[in-house]
Amino acid sequence: MKLEIEESQPLADRIRPATMDDFVGQGHIRNRIDAFAQSKRMPSLLLFGPPGCGKSTLALLLAQLTGKKYLRVSAPEAGLTALRKMLPGQEILILDELHRFSKAQQDFFLPILESGEITLLATTTENPSFSVTRQLLSRLHVLRLRQLSREELVGVSHRGAQELGVELEEESHKMLAAMAGGDARTLLNLLEYTAELPKERRCPECLRESLPEIVVRGDRDGDSHYELVSAMIKSIRGSDPDAALYYLACLLESGEDPRFVTRRLIISATEDVGLGDPFALNQAVACHQAVEAIGMPEGLIPMAQTTVYLALAPKSNATYAAYRTAQKEVRENGTRAVPLHLRNATSSLQREWGYGRGYLYPHNFPKGWADQDYLPSELLGRKFYHPKDQGEEPRLNAWLRQFKKQR
């Protein structure tokens, strides 16, 4: 019976490391982990990283090394009422998915951590700067874990195959590691599926046809959401259409809302391309409307076109930078008085005050330009907009330069 129970366990649980020597990955923080493991009193920790990188396993190993009584619960499954009843007599609490507790619920842990009543070993997949209260975060040591490398995952795959008693070609191990995307749990699930296949179907070529389609993890509220869209925009800004398309595919395959993506493309069209190609904004807005009209999956076609268009377009952030400079002036020095000649005289009293007096109507002058000042007197001569010599911007500025030479 015991053997049947063990075989019914997920492979990830069956080969979970029993000692720190068996723990895979996280070489960048192993010195800190060892220091915590050897300390007389384990501090409260927050283990932050992507799924399948070993957060819960590490928390269990650290708790076991202390020799103290510990309790492991998952935030989505344990409400605070139930947790209060389970805590008496426990010295360490392993809490998975801390971010699933609301900010108000997280306050529950403040007094028990402050008093030293319990040590908290919490895990989260979301950036703690946004998902954990500042008060609770100040009481925790944060360890950021990374996704496992392909080489590390290949090692995990070999260990899993040994546990299952199956033989695989080295290329099959490498292929499973590549498909897992840094997630050991996903890798072991794929390995279990592979083990159920006939031996002749376990070669790399057969596995590509036999394995279920991998659904890329989507973490719309976590770091991956913002990291992927940031990488896409930076690739567009850097004029790399291949990288921009790759990150677009990562976003869409993870289930990202396509409207979020198209809104980001609109922002990039104005922030990064700007007057380098004024038609970029038209392209991005049309893409947004097209996706709204046709939906997915066909919506990926205009999104791919727009992404490549923006990546290839000449870049100019001159207008965005100009606004930021003007914004800084207003925030630092306040709003200056509008010159009298620019004010509308809507009453006889305002006309007496000089509102509108001396205003030159540009359309009454040759080529539609009148030589007059528009900035407040304190800012005369101040330049906010500095055009760049790229794309369409020189042509757009040529018309104005002819008049400024005459001044």
When pLDDT is averaged across residues 177-204 and rounded to a whole number, the result is 84
Q: What does the DSSP 8-state code read for residue 101?
A: S
Cα separations in angstroms, 36 against 25, 32, 42, 49, 65 = 17, 6, 6, 18, 10
pLDDT attached to residue 77 = 78
Q: 8 falls in which pLDDT band (50, 70, 90)? A: low
pTM, full prediction: 0.58
Q: Is the confidence at residue 224, as pLDDT, over 80?
A: no
Asked if the domains 223-312 and 339-404 are classified in one and the same CATH topology, the answer is: no
Cα separations in angstroms, 182 against 42, 117, 151, 160, 345 = 29, 36, 10, 16, 68
Lowest mean pLDDT among 52-61, 156-165, 248-257, 299-308: 248-257
63: left (phi over 0), alpha (psi -120 to 50) or beta: alpha
Pick the more confident residue, 78 or 32.
32
Q: Is the confidence at residue 234, as pLDDT, over 90?
A: yes
pLDDT attached to residue 288 = 95
Report pLDDT digits (tens) over 52-72: 888 999 999 999 988 889 999
The rounded mean pLDDT for the chain is 86
Contacts of 333 (CB under 8 A, 6+ apart): none
Place of tokens 């009193």: 41
When pLDDT is averaged across residues 184-201 and rounded to a whole number, the result is 85
pLDDT attached to residue 345 = 85
CA neighbor of 128 nearest in space, from 230, 52, 48: 48
Contacts of 75 (CB under 8 A, 6+ apart): 95, 96, 97, 98, 99, 100, 101
Task: Compute the distance between CA of residue 252 and CA of residue 380 in angstroms, rounded to an integer.
Answer: 49
CATH 3.40.50.300 fits 25-144, yes or no: yes
In three-state secondary structure terms, 235 is helix
Give the rounded percent of residues in the chain with a pLDDT score beyond 90. 29
Task: Compute the distance between CA of residue 230 and CA of residue 225 in angstroms, rounded to an integer.
Answer: 9
Q: What are phi and psi of 32, to 5 degrees?
A: -70, -40
When pLDDT is averaged across residues 254-271 and rounded to a whole number, the result is 90
When pLDDT is averaged across residues 242-247 and rounded to a whole number, the result is 94
Judge whether 180 and 150 are in contact, CB under 8 Å. no
- Total residues found in the chain within this entry: 407
Report pLDDT digits (tens) over 85-119: 888 888 899 999 888 888 888 888 898 888 888 89
Q: 374 falls in which pLDDT band (50, 70, 90)? A: confident
pLDDT attached to residue 219 = 47
Q: Is the confidence at residue 240, as pLDDT, over 90?
A: yes
pLDDT attached to residue 2 = 36
Topology, domain 339-404: post-AAA+ oligomerization domain-like (1.10.3710)
Q: What are the strands of the beta sheet with 92-96, ordered from one edge?
A: 70-74, 92-96, 119-124, 45-48, 141-144
Domains of the chain, residue spans: 25-144, 150-210, 223-312, 339-404
When pLDDT is averaged across residues 41-46 and rounded to a whole number, the result is 89
Token pair recorded at residue 376: 């407040």
pLDDT attached to residue 216 = 46
Which CATH number is associated with domain 223-312? 1.20.272.10
Q: Is the confidence at residue 391, as pLDDT, over 70?
A: yes
pLDDT attached to residue 214 = 52
Report pLDDT digits (tens) over 278-301: 999 999 999 999 999 998 889 999
Lowest mean pLDDT among 1-5, 65-69, 342-346, 367-371: 1-5
